[in-house]
Amino acid sequence: MLYGQEDLRLEEVADPTPAAGEVVIQVGAATTCGTDLKVWRRGGHAKMLKPPTLFGHEAAGQIVALGAGVQGWQVGDRIVANNSAPCTQCFFCQRQEYSLCPNLTWNNGTFAKYLKIPAPIVQQNMLRIPDELPWELAAMTEPLACVLHGIGRSQVKESDRVVILGDGAIGLMFVAVLAEKTEVLLWGGNDHRLVIGKKLGAAQTFNYHQIPDIPGVVKELTDGWGADVVIEATGVPSVWENAIACARPGATVNLFGGCPRDTTISVNTEQLHYSELTLKGVFHNTPEYVRTALSLLASRQIPFELLISEHRPLSDLEQVFNDMKARKVIKVALTPC
């Protein structure tokens, strides 16, 4: 249970029972995420949850109970469920802009032995996983779906030079997917993570502690123009501004990392106008990207397991969050015991 700022407690709660349309799974593995760290440090999240609440949003597991009327599923099925589902009825859903749905059903509580999946998620965003796919890889479906959504909106072309700012799990997932077709330059603050960025295909990596003039270096490496596509994956307003400064004329800048509430950035109007920049905000994922993400994970084409720093028992939960805060780990796979 998350009670507030840096106040996470392991407690006995009643086992969930599924109402009509719902499913309960026994968690095989739950993975931690940068969003969890952010929510834990801030003590809440505007859209996703309000403490006191069950916590954690990435998990895969096995169905142990089915509510009335659930069709096509059986006890024992291995599944992954996204942490949200759109309503399918609203203005945005009718236009297939599912990530903008104001009535998203959210689900939290993966850091537990059992997890209840709400009916809209069962209907739209719960997927069967192949027998041979480990729980912790399947659990990464949600963040990867967000990343694939981000890439889908970034107008990336083959052989583009792409700058990625941020060496967290999300930044590294962007590297892994984009490195197949583009030349990726990765900036981060942690040498260990940058090594993983290289393993995932980054052409070059840079530690901003040593090389702080990011736009200067990007321009040097791109004949003075700047990158074709820039992806910001830190959620820091000053880094958003830096991302825009790395863009070539005509570039797309994907401002992907969610910043603290009520923050603003400055944009140079001359650069935006005369350089015809596209500045994109991209939020969350859609049912289509949830499916593509699971297929990509199941294909094992990309070694996403490099993002799992450790496997730990759920009883270590608090220590795991302190390790994330200290940036000692990228993602941790938690197993209930």
Binding site for Zn ion (CB under 5 A): 33, 35, 86-87, 90, 93, 101, 103, 143
CB of 146 to Zn ion, least distance (A): 7
List of residues 6+ apart from 324 with CB closer than 8 A: 32, 36, 37, 332
Closer residue to Zn ion in complex, CB, 93/176: 93
Please give the Cα distance from 189 to 41 (Å, whole number): 20
CB of 88 to Zn ion, least distance (A): 6
| Contact between 143 and 173 (Cβ < 8 Å) | yes
CB of 90 to Zn ion, least distance (A): 3
Closer residue to Zn ion in complex, CB, 101/277: 101
Closer residue to Zn ion in complex, CB, 129/251: 129
Closer residue to Zn ion in complex, CB, 161/284: 284
CA-wise closest residue to 35 among 234, 281, 319: 234
Please give the Cα distance from 318 to 337 (Å, whole number): 15
CB of 119 to Zn ion, least distance (A): 15
Closer residue to Zn ion in complex, CB, 32/154: 32
CB of 11 to Zn ion, least distance (A): 23
Contacts of 333-336 with C-beta under 8 Å, sequence gap 24+, read 333/29, 333/30, 333/31, 333/135, 333/136, 333/139, 333/308, 334/29, 334/30, 334/31, 334/32, 334/56, 334/111, 335/27, 335/28, 335/29, 335/135, 335/311, 336/26, 336/27, 336/112, 336/113
CA-wise closest residue to 146 among 82, 87, 210: 82
Closer residue to Zn ion in complex, CB, 60/227: 60
Please give the Cα distance from 110 to 133 (Å, whole number): 18
Closer residue to Zn ion in complex, CB, 33/133: 33
Helix and strand tally (H, E) in the chain? 12, 17
> Which two tokens mark 141?
């479906």
Please give the Cα distance from 236 to 131 (Å, whole number): 39
Residue tagged 């349309």 (tokens): 21
CB of 270 to Zn ion, least distance (A): 37
Position 205: which residue type? T
Closer residue to Zn ion in complex, CB, 177/217: 177
CB of 214 to Zn ion, least distance (A): 26
CB of 244 to Zn ion, least distance (A): 25
